[in-house]
Structure 1
Amino acid sequence: MSTSKSNPNPLDVLDSKINPDNVKDYQTRLESYHSSLDSYWKFEIVPGIFKQSDPSTDERKFDYLKEHFGIIGSWDDIIENLNHLNNSTGPNEQYKIMFLARHGQGFHNLAHTKYGDNAWNEYWSKLNGDGEIIWGPDANLTELGISQAKDNNYIWKQEQINNKNNDASLIIPTKFLVSPLSRSIDTMYYTWNDIVDLKNVQPLIQENWRETMGVHTCDKRSSRTIIDYKYTGKGFVIEPGFAEEDIYYQDDYRETVGEQALRINKGLQQLFNESPNDKIVAITSHSGSIRAQLLAVGHRSFAVGTGGMIPVFVKAIKVTK
């Protein structure tokens, strides 16, 4: 394993925070969305499974690479609990372990650190580069970012070896979802390529998992043609209805936390509706996406560094009107 750092830096911690207004905005939007549905899934976190859900865990110091992803107890006990909960419930209740991965360092992350938060958000993020670094549109991974993804590959292999019953498939996800931005797809590829057969598991590229949309050129995706050319030959599948050009990115408006969390919730609704038998899921996305995912499933805010990963044990109850 390389020595690349995946612990969150001060900018990561800043970007992960959710204030009360964000929560209120999301809840208002969620209630309106629910009112248009005949049924929906309501999410919460099962406590005592992963250290990251414990409020006493310091996100600035926690290193999941050295903490077996933050498990409390053993993987055998956790998976036994997961299977027991799913086997003892009806169709209106599901439990899943979701590994929420952030892409490795991208060139936009490099520029963000170079210029600082204010200058980045107010000026540089709206450009495609500075003459030295190119970050837009659709920022690519740096060499460090690639090595961070490979660190995850290494630690996944180690966790399989460390299972008491030596069952290599015990904690391997059966469902793979990924943002359409190149840095996330590349991170998923370098993380999983020789652990699973990507052409068999067919990771699904979906718009709902993408980074906060608008203004920042790094968050404008490539065309469908480019994504298809680069990734479908490696096993990735593009979701139906995926537009040729990025129809969501706007130069003059950036998505709010509440809007993004609602978008994420819609992705989760689709996941729990369409994949009831997939108990372990891998979602590779972005810092803003993970912030919204944690909000949507009722988890505490938790900073994840570039290339980092946070597992969550989610309980979903189907509410029918």
Structure 2
Amino acid sequence: MNKLIAEKDYFQVEPTLNSGIDTNYAFVKPFDKYKSIQEIISKIEDLPNTRLFILARHGQGYHNAAVERYGEDVWDAKWAFKNGDGVLEDWNDANLTSKGINQVKRTGKVVFGEKMKGLWPDSYYCSPLRRCLQTFRYEWTEKFNLEKIDDPNLKKTINVTIKENIRETIGVHTCDWRQNKSKSYDECIKPYENVKDDFQIKFNYEENFEEEDPLYSQDYRETDHDIDVRIERALNEIWELEDKKKSANPEYRDKVISLTCHEGVIKSALRVLKHDPIPRLETSGVVMVIITKL
């Protein structure tokens, strides 16, 4: 397995942006010696074995709303094991709430649209859980719509790989159980295919992706060590896949990689990459990390 490490001195902590939606965008502001994210990308262009990973957390799901409603202690002791509480929509493989949709639209506008104006990742990966599939669509559609204002002739097709191993901490909590592949496809992907002529998001399930959830257990929930092993493996799989694309096509650009995933995944990635920890990343928060393969 490759040894991947986070490089420091590129991004700093940025306080919550004041727009009325309580979302914390941590580690997306370049240090003062860099004028922009574009300047950082330009710096790493010629650095071997170095890439920018954009780690985006999903917006508020119905399970997150329940945690706010009951508090984390009561959630962990009771409600996390149930499918719902009858107050709002059930939270097994939770969908986004209306607040969550507003959050991720703002991320698409402020982070991807404004801070990354004119910049698009070279490759995209997404968790198969419904809140992430929905987050991906809202965020990148928002960016496209914003950039379309400046470039009316803009056309864009995004190919995104749905990857099982970048799911949230697995086991016990019903919000982290995955709906069947066909159900998620019918609800979150199919209705939005080929809707716009100028912008397409094409979701592609990774090879050997199973119809039913092969990982969830009602009796055992991953420890930090368990998820760290899984996420380190997933990061290496993504890295090696990007290397293969580059080897097959030397013209392929492989410097900026987008992952739409979960707080547990992002915190785990920061641990295995030896990055400074983030105590809490709010829903729809984004972390940008420069990673080098040693």
| Band the TM-score falls in, shorter-chain normalisation | 0.7 to 0.9
1:25 alignment partner in structure 2: none
Q: Which of 14, 18, 30 pairs up with 1:71?
A: 30
1:205 alignment partner in structure 2: 162
TM-score, normalising length from structure 2? 0.81
Matched, 1:220 2:177: yes
1:153 alignment partner in structure 2: 108
Deviation at 1:114, TM superposition (A): 1.1
1:254 alignment partner in structure 2: 221
2:273 alignment partner in structure 1: 297
Matched, 1:83 2:36: no
Q: Which of 118, 123, 136 pairs up with 1:188?
A: 136
Relative to 1, partners in 2 of residues 1:103 and 1:46: Cα closer, same or farther, differing over 3 Å? same
Q: Residue type matched to 2:172 in 1?
A: V
Relative to 1, partners in 2 of residues 1:67 and 1:215: Cα closer, same or farther, differing over 3 Å? closer
CA distance in 1, matches of 2:185, 2:42: 38
Kindly report which structure 2 residues correspond to 1:261-300, keeping only aligned pairs within 5 A, or say none. Answer: 261-276=228-243, 277-300=253-276
Relative to 1, partners in 2 of residues 1:309 and 1:198: Cα closer, same or farther, differing over 3 Å? farther
Deviation at 1:228, TM superposition (A): 2.5
Relative to 1, partners in 2 of residues 1:286 and 1:200: Cα closer, same or farther, differing over 3 Å? same
CA distance in 2, matches of 1:67, 1:113: 21
Alpha-carbon deviations, 1:146-182, whole Å to 9, x = none?
0111111111222244xxxxxx23xx21111111000
CA distance in 1, matches of 2:46, 2:6: 16
Gaps of 5+ in 2: 18-22, 145-153, 194-200, 244-252
Gaps of 5+ in 1: 1-39, 87-93, 162-167
Relative to 1, partners in 2 of residues 1:178 and 1:227: Cα closer, same or farther, differing over 3 Å? same
CA distance in 1, matches of 2:166, 2:137: 16
Count of matched residue positions in the alignment of Structure 1 and Structure 2: 256
CA distance in 2, matches of 1:301, 1:67: 11
Q: Is the 8 A contact 2:59 2:131 kept in 1?
A: yes
Q: Is the 8 A contact 2:228 2:268 kept in 1?
A: yes
TM-score, normalising length from structure 1? 0.74
Q: Is the 8 A contact 2:58 2:132 kept in 1?
A: yes
Q: Is the 8 A contact 1:141 1:183 kept in 2?
A: yes
Relative to 1, partners in 2 of residues 1:65 and 1:257: Cα closer, same or farther, differing over 3 Å? closer
Q: Is the 8 A contact 1:105 1:306 kept in 2?
A: yes
Matched residue SS, 1:311 = strand
Q: Is the 8 A contact 1:199 1:236 kept in 2?
A: no
2:70 alignment partner in structure 1: 115
Alpha-carbon deviations, 1:72-96, whole Å to 9, x = none?
122343122111213xxxxxxx111
CA distance in 1, matches of 2:155, 2:283: 23
CA distance in 1, matches of 2:122, 2:78: 41
Q: Is the 8 A contact 2:96 2:131 kept in 1?
A: yes
CA distance in 1, matches of 2:109, 2:24: 10
Deviation at 1:261, TM superposition (A): 1.1
1:177 alignment partner in structure 2: 125
CA distance in 2, matches of 1:99, 1:142: 23
1:310 alignment partner in structure 2: 287
Q: Is the 8 A contact 2:12 2:27 kept in 1?
A: no
CA distance in 1, matches of 2:80, 2:25: 33
Where do 4+ consecutive residues of structure 1 move more than 6 Å? 64-68
1:48 alignment partner in structure 2: 9
How large is the Cα RMSD of the aligned pairs?
2.2
CA distance in 2, matches of 1:140, 1:65: 21
Alpha-carbon deviations, 1:264-301, whole Å to 9, x = none?
11111111111034210110111111111111211121
2:206 alignment partner in structure 1: 239
Deviation at 1:194, TM superposition (A): 5.1
Matched residue SS, 1:109 = helix
Q: Residue type matched to 2:189 in 1?
A: Y
Q: Is the 8 A contact 1:211 1:285 kept in 2?
A: yes
